[in-house]
Structure 1
């Protein structure tokens, strides 16, 4: 009985409650009660759609990973801008990247990271989740891109997801 009264997605419940308090016109008893009802009800209604919980082994490494991604986005933005200004032609390539990650969330984070970084896009993933097809705007060699992605993104994700 108490299992049905629990919060199946506590972080989602917390965000919903805070969002409701921000959207309501001031904090009052009614807005707190309705916020708790929404924070409990929405995750209960959508519980069947959520996959299993992420298996973070070292979740404390996520802030450093996010900082690395933000720095890479800024640096890549300047590289792409320089590539546009420069009269030299870019050397685009489709690269098949062999995945070492197995957890679906980790693979999604890697693919999203690659797509967020200007100059690269995750184009497709194989049916068995072993190969990621990446388009690079400008690259000297496929191996250079593979090594950079593995060392900067996949390796830290493997440590986080175990």
Structure 2
């Protein structure tokens, strides 16, 4: 499987009045899973400050389709990968899965744009971030080169 699956715990406060995960929480699950993955590679916030300039990015686009509700608390999986990596953008795809990976609860797309911290204009990813992001590519860079 390409990308990464981050195990994730659903808590009681993630649920709505019907006992299913509230729709807005799915975006939070992805945000936290991505943050954990990037932090493990040195890209995070420490002491209220970014550890690298690549942490400075904005979500330019977000879409999600709900397939099957997550009912109650317990473990799920957040599967994410990079569909395309541009000069200053990254297109993520993601799925919220049951703990066993058999049920897709939701799936979607998120586009991030790296920003220059002074101008808030798009800026290129560092080579370190690009190298890390390549681990998440759905199609390895070598295969993309062969397809051209």
Question: Which interval holds the TM-score relative to the shorter structure?
Answer: under 0.3
Greater strand fraction, Structure 1 or Structure 2: 2
| Bigger helix fraction | 1
TM-score (norm 2): 0.24
- Give the TM-score, by structure 1 length: 0.23
Query: Which structure ranks higher in relative contact order (CA pairs < 8 Å, sequence separation ≥ 6)?
Result: 2
* Higher Rg: 1
